[in-house]
Amino acid sequence: MRAVVRADSAKAGVGEGVHSVTHPGATARQRLIAVATIVTALPLMACVPQYGSPQQVQSTNPSVTYRYATDQDLLQVNQTAVGFCDRYRAVPRASRFTTAGDGSKIVEFDCVQTTMAGAQSPQFSPDMAYSYRSDQELLEASRSAQIHCMNSGAPQVLSSTTTNPDGTRTATFRCSRG
């Protein structure tokens, strides 16, 4: 005997003809297979994790590492890092400075998302010299100069560094339109 499944729920009464296992004409074998299928599927459905929408668990910024020797080299690798991070629509931020066994210096830049147009550079005055004591201070002055120049419509920053007779170091920045 053949069981019929009706899709029209308005015509079917509660439990009437909806599942073949409830049909009076269903064989014992059909009922057994249907019950076994349900019993097997229930534990599997209970094991499926119930998550909402996807959530970010971890994120790592792209980064780039350079070896340099002088302050002018550091400014040059900073500009190179600008080009590297630009492909990620980000700007470089020095995250770590180390010294290699051979005495050369190493800087690691993380590419971080930021809006240059909204950034402020209140401590920067164009065409002025800035004293700095560390590589980090030099990069901060360079970053302020980059922000100032971009906000002024001059995308390029020209820079120079000098070591003064008393041992202090000075950086000079100037905006250029190309």
147 by DSSP, 3-state: which? Answer: helix
Q: How confident is the model at residue 128 (pLDDT cuts 50, 70, 90)?
A: confident
Whether residue 15 has pLDDT greater than 60: no
Looking at per-residue pLDDT, the higher value among 102 and 4 belongs to: 102
Positions of E strands within 100-151:
105-112, 129-132
Q: How confident is the model at residue 55 (pLDDT cuts 50, 70, 90)?
A: low
Taking every pair of Cα atoms in the chain, the longest distance, rounded to a whole number of angstroms, is 106
Whether residue 67 has pLDDT greater than 90: yes
Question: For all residues of the chain together, what is the average pLDDT?
Answer: 75
Looking at per-residue pLDDT, the higher value among 98 and 157 belongs to: 98
Cα atoms found within 13 Å of the Cα of residue 20, Cβ hemisphere only: 15
- Taking the C-alpha atoms of residue 61 and residue 99, their distance in angstroms, rounded to an integer, is 23
Looking at per-residue pLDDT, the higher value among 161 and 24 belongs to: 161
Q: What is the pLDDT of residue 176?
A: 80
Whether 90 contacts 62, CB under 8 Å: yes
Nearest to 157 by CA among 131, 176, 172: 176
148 by DSSP, 3-state: which? Answer: helix
- Taking the C-alpha atoms of residue 4 and residue 17, their distance in angstroms, rounded to an integer, is 7
Q: What is the pLDDT of residue 89?
A: 86
- Taking the C-alpha atoms of residue 142 and residue 65, their distance in angstroms, rounded to an integer, is 18
> Which residue do the tokens 């560390």 mark?
134
Q: What is the pLDDT of residue 174?
A: 86
